């Protein structure tokens, strides 16, 4: 009976151990496992939500990038258009300035031509009077010379 009594004692001790564990050890362990499961489920749920938000943000970013590219292209197009307008304005101003400079050059040439013509007339008149003096053999007075020169210049 010694074996039976030992076996019964061990069984009672085991049952008491199991009851003790079920009352005091297992509840905190089960609670910790359940909390951990809950945390993992929440983390997975949060990760799924974050993944969805990331996809949404990615779409928004792509839309913003496309819109920014369109705006940048519009700005470049406007800048090119304005550049072309400025070039046309500068060309027109340059042509106008060129025409003005040419006109001034023509006016200066005409003025210089008239001046030289007047000088030549005066010299020709002086030479004519000098020649006439030599032919006549006498000197005509200054007032008469000036009068004759003025008439010759007017005729030339």
pLDDT in tens, 72-94: 999 999 999 999 999 999 999 99
Give CA–CA dist 126/114, Å, rounded.
18
What per-residue confidence (pLDDT) applies to 140?
Answer: 57
The model's pLDDT over 111-127, given as tens digits with 9 standing for 90+, comes to 999 888 888 877 877 77
All residue ranges of the chain with pLDDT < 70 are 1, 132-146, 148-149, 151-156
Report CA Rg, the chain: 60
Could you tell me the two tokens for 66? 């496309």
Predicted TM-score of the model (pTM): 0.44
CB burial of residue 125 (10 Å; 0-12, 13-18, 19+): buried
What per-residue confidence (pLDDT) applies to 156?
Answer: 58
Give CA–CA dist 119/103, Å, rounded.
24
Instruction: Answer for the pair 125, 149: CB distance below 8 angstroms, yes or no.
Output: yes
């Amino acid at each position: 009976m010694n074996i039976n009594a030992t076996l019964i004692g061990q069984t009672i001790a085991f049952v008491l151990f199991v009851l003790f564990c079920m009352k005091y050890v297992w509840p905190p362990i089960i609670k910790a496992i359940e909390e951990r499961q809950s945390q993992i489920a929440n983390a997975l749920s949060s990760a799924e939500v974050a993944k969805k938000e990331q996809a949404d943000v990615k779409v928004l970013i792509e839309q913003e990038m496309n819109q920014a590219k369109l705006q940048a292209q519009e700005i470049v197009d406007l800048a090119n258009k304005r550049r072309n307008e400025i070039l046309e304005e500068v060309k027109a101003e340059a042509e106008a300035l060129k025409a003005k400079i040419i006109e001034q050059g023509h006016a200066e040439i005409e003025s210089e031509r008239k001046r030289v013509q007047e000088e030549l007339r005066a010299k020709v008149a002086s030479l004519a009077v000098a020649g006439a003096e030599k032919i006549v053999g006498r000197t005509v007075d200054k007032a008469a010379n000036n009068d004759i020169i003025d008439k010759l210049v007017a005729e030339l």
